[in-house]
Structures are given as structure tokens and as C-alpha cells.
């Protein structure tokens, strides 16, 4: 049994990782989360009473608190997911992204290095620092509409970095920090870069939950530009399984790209959700004949990348991982989850569960 410290464990991907650790492994999980707007403890309600789970409300920029947490819990593995991650927010206010994603990662690396240096030899040899990143650090790829309809390239672990937004630039910076701490200090690190995640417990400002919830309320379904931007969609529980696999079995100093093998245009995603809602919720809001009628094209995002696509061959070859969900199965599960968990959506937006729960800390 290992103790895995997960930063950002109350966020969308982080909570999936914590749930996977508690439900599918024998390891312990220590969730370190500042609890910003996107972190919600209700996403961990079902495992919160497990004796192998602990929560610490800590900002990764607070070195003294991190030092205390390391000393108290003596982690064997650090899985670093804490990050500001919304592109639009990074365009409107990049400062928080620089602070959390760059300064926070630096602070965590330094505290991890100090902790690791003092470990006894056997525990030191087994220690790992797993940094979780995004495919957005690579920039974008050629799009079929540009006349490139055959043999389109994919992002690999050696694709040069070319970030487009303040968010992706801050994540690229954090990746470089992690690699340099491994090269310079010998800190045993690993990095993963993932494609777009979707699934249960996704904060409602993101594309898929936003479309689901807006459609149910008869509100416009905003689509940037003409909706032709292509993303590779990865079901979050498949991603969590991959992350724990890399953290426990991956090779030190290696990078693994994790993708869902599901390239879809944004408008395809929106239309698929509308079709599922036609089937699952045929009774529509007043004045709505078809959910697709709510699609509203809006001004494109500044610096919007055209296409992301992951080559996940390395993690399949070396660690025998591949996604279990197709987009067809995963998106149906996702829509059904939001239909069955309206209360969670309300609580995460008004903060009511959070306020009640934090009374215990």
C-alpha cells in the first residue's frame, strides 16, 4: 500500500483520480486542494468517509503548508493536477494562471525535492513525482478543411511545444520546470499530456456540461466560430485509470501522451448531445421544437487552436493502456449522469455543499 498525494483532488480530473485510487486500488489518497471555484468536495462525497482518504485544504503556492503535509502524511507518490485550466478565463485574467500553474508548480517541486532528499534510501528509491499536463502545450495541428485530409499528423511525446493561450503557455512552463528538476536535481519525475476530458462531475462552464444544462433550460447553445475545431475526447475515468498506472508503473523521466482516439468537431459534439437529449428528454422547455434549434454561433475565441489529436501509442505499448469508452458510449453515460445529478450541478454552482462540508475542517 502506497500513500498518493493528489494536488487538485477536488477538481474534475483530480476527483476522478481520487475516486479511482480509493475504489479500485489498495492505496491511500491525500487530497490537497485550495478549493477554488472549480474544486468541489461533493465530487468525493461517496468516498469521503473511507479511512484511506484524507483531505487538506492547502494552496500549492504555500510552501510552509506543503512542508507540513509532506511531513504528516509521508507520501510515496505525488500526482500534481492542481491548475487553473479554463482557456477563456486565462485570456481575461492570465495572472492567476501564472501564479498557480507556474509559481505553484515551482513551490511544489521545491518542497517535494526537500522532502525526497531527506527520505531513507528505500523510500527515496520508490518516490515519484507525476506531473499531469495537457496536449494544448503543443499548439495545434493541420485541419482537414485546410486541404489536408490524408495522413494528418498527431501529437507525440516529442512534438515541439507551441502554446497558443496564456493557459497553455503556463502549463508548458510547468512542464519545463518539472523536466529541469529531474535533469538538474535528479528528482524522479514523470509527465503526462492528455487530450480533452469529459464525463461526470465536470464543472458546468466547460463545453459538454454547458451544452447539456443550457439545452435543458432552453438557453442558447454557444458554439465558437463555425464549430469546426477538432478535439480528441477522453472519458475522464479512462484518464484516471491511465494516470494511476503511469504514477505507479511508468518509467522515471518519461512522458506519456494519453488520448481517447475520438477526434470530433465541436459542432459534432453539440449535435450528438442534442440527439441524445431528444431521446432521453423528449419533453422540451416551452418554445423549443428541437434542441438543435438552440445552437448559437458566437465570435471565435482569440487564438483558437484548430485541431488537437493525440498519438497514445506509447502508453499502450509500454503500459498496456487503452481507453475503454468510445465517444458514443462515454457521451451517453455523461448525459445520463447530468440528468440524474441535477442537485450536484446546483450545489457546485451555488457553493452550498462546500460551505456545509468545510465546517468539518
Over its C-alpha atoms, the chain yields an Rg (Å, rounded) of 20
> Residues 192, 243: contact at Cβ < 8 Å?
yes
C-alpha–C-alpha distance, residues 329 and 15, integer Å: 21
Q: How many Å apart are CA 153 and CA 140, to the nearest integer?
A: 10
SS3 (DSSP) at 9: coil
Question: Catalytic: 136?
Answer: yes
DSSP classification of residue 261:
S
Other beta carbons within 10 angstroms of residue 345's beta carbon come to 18
Question: Please, is 120 exposed, middle or buried when counting C-beta atoms within 10 Å of its C-beta (0-12, 13-18, 19+)?
Answer: exposed
H helices present in the chain, as ranges: 12-24, 63-73, 87-92, 95-97, 105-117, 121-126, 166-185, 207-216, 236-249, 266-280, 313-319, 327-340, 342-350, 352-357
Q: Is 14 helix (H, G, I), strand (E, B) or coil?
A: helix
Q: By the 8 A CB rule, do 187 and 124 touch? A: no
- The catalytic residue among 167, 235, 256, 338 is 167
Question: Which is catalytic among the residues 33, 42, 135, 232?
Answer: 135
CB 137 within 8 A of CB 193: yes
- For 101, residues 6+ apart whose C-beta sits below 8 A from its C-beta are 83, 84, 167, 170, 171, 173, 174
Q: Which of 84, 136, 238, 305 is catalytic?
A: 136
Catalytic annotation, residues: 135-136, 167
Amino acid at each position: 500500500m502506497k500513500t498518493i498525494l493528489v494536488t487538485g483532488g477536488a477538481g474534475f480530473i483530480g476527483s476522478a483520480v481520487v475516486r479511482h485510487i480509493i475504489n479500485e486500488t489498495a492505496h491511500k489518497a491525500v487530497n490537497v486542494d485550495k478549493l477554488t471555484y472549480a474544486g468541489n468536495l461533493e465530487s468525493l462525497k461517496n468516498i469521503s468517509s473511507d479511512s484511506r482518504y484524507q483531505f487538506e485544504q492547502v494552496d500549492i503556492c504555500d510552501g510552509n503548508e506543503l512542508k507540513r503535509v509532506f511531513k504528516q502524511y509521508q507520501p510515496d507518490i505525488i500526482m500534481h493536477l492542481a491548475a487553473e485550466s479554463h482557456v477563456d478565463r486565462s485570456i481575461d485574467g492570465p495572472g492567476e494562471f501564472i501564479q498557480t500553474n507556474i509559481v505553484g508548480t515551482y513551490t511544489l517541486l521545491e518542497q517535494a525535492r526537500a522532502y525526497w532528499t531527506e527520505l531513507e534510501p528505500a523510500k527515496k528509491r520508490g518516490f515519484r513525482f507525476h506531473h499531469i499536463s495537457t496536449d494544448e502545450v503543443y499548439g495545434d495541428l493541420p485541419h482537414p478543411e485546410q486541404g489536408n485530409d490524408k495522413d494528418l499528423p498527431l501529437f507525440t511525446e516529442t512534438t515541439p511545444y507551441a502554446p497558443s493561450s496564456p493557459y497553455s503557455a503556463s502549463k508548458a512552463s510547468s512542464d519545463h520546470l518539472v523536466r529541469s528538476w529531474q535533469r538538474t536535481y535528479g528528482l524522479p519525475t514523470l509527465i503526462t499530456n492528455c487530450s480533452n476530458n469529459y464525463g461526470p462531475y465536470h464543472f458546468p462552464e466547460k463545453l459538454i456540461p454547458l451544452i447539456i444544462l443550457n439545452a435543458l433550460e432552453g438557453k442558447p447553445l454557444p458554439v465558437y466560430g463555425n464549430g469546426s475545431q477538432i478535439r480528441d475526447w477522453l472519458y475522464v475515468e479512462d484518464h484516471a485509470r491511465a494516470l494511476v498506472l503511469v504514477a505507479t508503473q511508468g518509467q522515471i523521466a518519461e512522458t506519456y501522451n494519453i488520448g481517447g482516439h475520438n477526434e470530433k468537431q465541436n459542432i459534432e459534439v453539440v449535435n450528438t448531445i442534442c440527439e441524445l437529449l431528444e431521446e432521453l428528454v423528449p419533453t422540451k422547455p416551452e418554445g423549443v421544437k428541437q434542441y438543435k434549434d438552440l445552437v448559437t454561433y458566437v465570435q471565435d475565441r482569440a487564438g483558437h487552436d484548430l485541431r488537437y489529436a493525440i498519438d497514445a501509442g506509447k502508453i499502450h505499448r509500454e503500459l498496456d493502456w487503452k481507453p475503454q469508452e468510445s465517444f458514443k458510449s462515454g457521451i451517453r453515460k455523461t448525459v445520463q449522469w447530468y440528468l440524474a445529478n441535477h442537485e450536484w450541478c446546483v450545489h457546485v454552482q451555488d457553493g452550498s455543499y462546500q460551505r456545509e462540508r468545510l465546517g468539518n475542517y
